[in-house]
């Protein structure tokens, strides 16, 4: 199935579907089209993007380590189980990798998933529960402040992820429809377009349309704008789980 044949290929005219940078572009094309010709050739852009990832991560690392140590102590005092864990996620070209996170749930959260499957608010293969009873007290704070995502700085340094890109899925690429595989063209990110668009309640297909809009129009300017807007979203708590 080609992109033009995918369900919901409506014209994206609403400003809230893109970050503020796009307001002057009069973005009125379908979500899978490029808004304008990129200023940089792909190899140059990718080299600069990787350099930015490494530079920002190294600069933030001393602060991140201090915060992680404080979070580790709080998690261990709050509930039994490891403070940090890795979870298999789907990355570029469908490759599975271990993504690091701080634990925000009880240690048997996966076993309890079947018990609460009827409370899922999203369509398969997504899984999300409002006021998830598996989340610990400290976990709620970590999620509200997005501190649970901090360990992914190590994924970025390893090259598994980028700071900006489509969020990696917990389910494998084998569950994707053909048009879903477009998101596998690039490295997954710590943050992305739909996270800063206030669209965290979207189903996978709708989030994917925003991911493809990002992939088709990605640039250093767009990456910087998403990073800037992400800081604002974290500080305000908007879009937090």
Of residues 138, 127, 106, 143, the one with CA closest to residue 175? 127
Q: Can you give the pLDDT of all 241 residues of the chain as single tens digits?
A: 344 344 443 333 333 444 443 433 344 455 556 767 778 899 999 999 999 999 999 999 999 999 999 999 999 999 999 999 999 999 999 999 999 999 999 887 777 776 777 666 666 666 677 778 888 999 999 998 999 999 999 999 999 999 999 999 988 988 888 888 999 999 999 999 888 876 566 677 888 888 888 998 899 999 999 999 888 878 776 655 5
User: What are the two backbone dihedrals, phi and then psi, of residue 135, each rounded to the nearest 5 degrees?
Assistant: -75, 135
Q: How many domains does the chain have?
A: 1
Instruction: Provide the pLDDT for residue 5.
Output: 40
Closest CA to 197 of 180, 212, 179, 210: 210
Query: What domain range is 123 assigned to?
Result: 3-31+39-236
Q: How far apart are CA 188 and CA 154, in angstroms?
A: 14
Q: What confidence score (pLDDT) does residue 241 get?
A: 55
- Whether the CA torsion 209, 37, 189, 173 is positive or negative: it is positive
Determine contact, residues 146/234, Cβ cutoff 8 Å.
yes
Q: What is the pLDDT of residue 127?
A: 66
Residue 26 confidence (pLDDT):
40
Three-state DSSP class for 230?
helix
241 within a domain of the structure (yes/no):
no
Give the pTM.
0.81
The answer as to whether 188 is a domain residue is yes
Whole-number pLDDT of residue 8: 43
Q: Which two tokens stand for residue 118?
A: 């009827």
What are the residues whose beta carbons fall under 8 Å from the beta carbon of 180, sequence distance 6 or more?
A: 173, 204, 205, 208
Cα–Cα nearest to 101, from 56, 159, 144, 154: 154
- Taking CA atoms, 60 is separated from 53, 68, 96, 102, in Å, by 11, 12, 26, 17
């Amino acid at each position: 199935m080609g992109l033009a044949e995918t369900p919901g290929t409506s014209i994206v005219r609403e400003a809230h579907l893109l970050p503020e940078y796009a307001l002057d572009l009069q973005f009125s094309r379908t979500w899978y089209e490029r808004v304008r010709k990129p200023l940089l050739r792909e190899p140059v852009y990718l080299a600069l993007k990787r350099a930015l990832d490494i530079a920002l991560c190294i600069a933030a690392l001393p602060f991140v380590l201090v915060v992680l140590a404080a979070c580790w102590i709080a998690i261990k005092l709050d509930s039994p189980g490891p403070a940090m864990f890795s979870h298999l996620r789907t990355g570029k070209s469908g490759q599975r990798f271990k993504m690091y996170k701080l634990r925000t749930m009880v240690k048997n959260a996966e076993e309890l998933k079947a018990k609460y499957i009827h409370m899922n608010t999203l369509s398969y293969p997504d899984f999300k529960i409002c006021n998830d009873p598996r989340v610990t007290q400290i976990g709620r704070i970590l999620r509200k402040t997005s501190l649970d995502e901090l360990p992914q700085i190590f994924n970025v340094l390893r090259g598994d992820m980028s700071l900006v890109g489509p969020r990696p899925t917990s389910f494998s690429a084998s569950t994707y429809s053909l048009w879903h595989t477009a998101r596998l063209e690039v490295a997954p990110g710590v943050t992305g377009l739909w996270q800063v668009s206030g669209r965290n309640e979207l189903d996978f297909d709708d989030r994917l349309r925003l991911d493809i809009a990002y992939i088709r129009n990605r640039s250093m300017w767009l990456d910087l704008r998403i990073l800037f807007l992400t800081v604002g979203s974290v500080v305000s708590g908007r879009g937090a789980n």
